[in-house]
Amino acid sequence: MSDELIPIDPQHPERPQYFRPVDALPHFNGATCLVVIDVLGVGTAVGFDWVTKHRLNPGLPPPTDHDIADATVAKIISEAAKCPAGSAVKLQLMYHSDPKHVWGLDPGGKVIDRPWQIQVSILEALKQIAKSGKPPIAKLYLTGCTSDNDRDLVNEAFKIPGLTHVVTADTTIELIPGAITGATWPAMLPQPVRVSVWIKEGDKQVRLTPKTPISAHDKFDIPTNSVKDRKCPTVETLSGDTHFTVGYWNSEAEAIAGGNALLPNASKTEAEKAFRSYQCPCPSCSRKVLGVVSFAGSTVTPDLSWLASAIYWRKSYKATVYCHWSVPVACE
């Protein structure tokens, strides 16, 4: 397949990167725990922490790109520690491709906003992870606008032990945890996006790029590494009212208690009926999941009646139960 490889940037032989057009992205998996890091959020938090301390200690130097990289790695390690023991990580880094601002000082010592190119800190963070090998990252998703161009990040990522795939995008995208969706700027309206997957072939880094982009109505779903409807997953609440009459009990109190005892199962039965007929709004969703049924506004009204026995008539109570139930339904 080497004849299909097209050099991406021959002027940088230290980055042996190639492009290969494909009809569709290959299926790939191997990492089960998704860790999402908002790198801009990490940098902003570092800046705010410094400016707060600077008021008390004017001699405290402002954070550098290296400081933000350290904080990013610490955040990645902290979040990855929440994954099940032994699981490999799929790491999604959300960032902006254009320079942002963090707190800094001008030559006169005045606190200012200084320009910050986020990729500089990401590159340093990847170097630290590659050197330490922690946490174990199998897949990296560079979810920044036009991240196809962040080839230095791709090159550094493949130095991480055990990392097999890097995912990038060719255009402006929304910064959404767990997904890659195309969006126009600045209106952020849906638009197609071409998602590429980088793999290693020997000493080569090969970008597999599908000939057809993902449509404006769809997204690349990171948990499943597949294309899904942009609306999926969704969560919608189904609800309804039900009432029924049951009996017989010897006292009004027993009728009320008996009716209340039947509420959970009665509500669940009605919810399951609605669930079976519910259609997910996204055709590509593979399954629907019924949540926990709740009920509210329930009332139980006892109703006196007379029952004939072989010897005498006796009082008996029925219970008429009214309630409103609701249940969340997730489409995945």
Q: Domain extents for the chain?
A: 2-228, 234-331
Provide long-range contacts, Cβ within 8 A and 24+ apart, for 74-80: 75/37, 75/42, 76/35, 76/37, 76/125, 76/129, 76/135, 77/134, 77/135, 79/35, 79/36, 79/37, 80/33, 80/35, 80/135
Instruction: Provide the pLDDT for residue 87.
Output: 86
Of the candidate ranges 65-69, 197-201, 301-305, the one whose mean pLDDT is the lowest? 301-305
Provide the pLDDT confidence category of residue 262 given band limits of 50, 70 and 90: confident
At residue 191, the pLDDT reads 95
Which of 51-65, 74-88, 176-190, 255-269 is least confident? 255-269
On the question of pLDDT at 309 being above 70, the answer is no
Whole-number pLDDT of residue 308? 47
Between 29 and 142, the more confident residue is 142
Is residue 261's pLDDT more than 50? yes
pLDDT at 332 over 80: no
pLDDT band for 321, please (50, 70, 90 cuts): confident
* pLDDT tens, position by position, 95-131: 998 888 877 776 777 777 788 899 999 999 999 999 9
Quickly count helices (H) and strands (E) in the chain.
Answer: 5, 17
Over the Cα atoms of the chain, what is R_g? Answer: 29
Give me the mean pLDDT over the 136-158 stretch: 96
Looking at every residue in the chain, the average pLDDT score rounds to 86
Q: Confirm if 220 and 292 have CB atoms less than 8 A apart.
A: no
Distance from C-alpha of 318 to C-alpha of 296, rounded to nearest angstrom: 21
pLDDT attached to residue 71: 96
Range scoring the smallest mean pLDDT among 19-23, 161-165, 228-232, 276-280: 228-232
Render pLDDT for 56-72 as a digit per residue (tens, 0 to 9).
888 888 889 999 999 99
Residue with tokens 């200084």: 114
Average pLDDT over every residue of 197-225: 93
pLDDT greater than 50 at residue 312: no
Q: Please give the single-letter amino acid code of residue 297.
A: G
Q: Which of 43-52, 166-175, 279-288 has the highest mean pLDDT?
A: 166-175
Lowest mean pLDDT among 190-194, 274-278, 307-311: 307-311
> Residue 310: its pLDDT value, please?
46
Span 235-259, pLDDT tens digits: 888 888 887 777 666 777 777 777 7
CA distances from 37 to 3, 29, 47, 73, 89 (A): 38, 20, 17, 10, 12
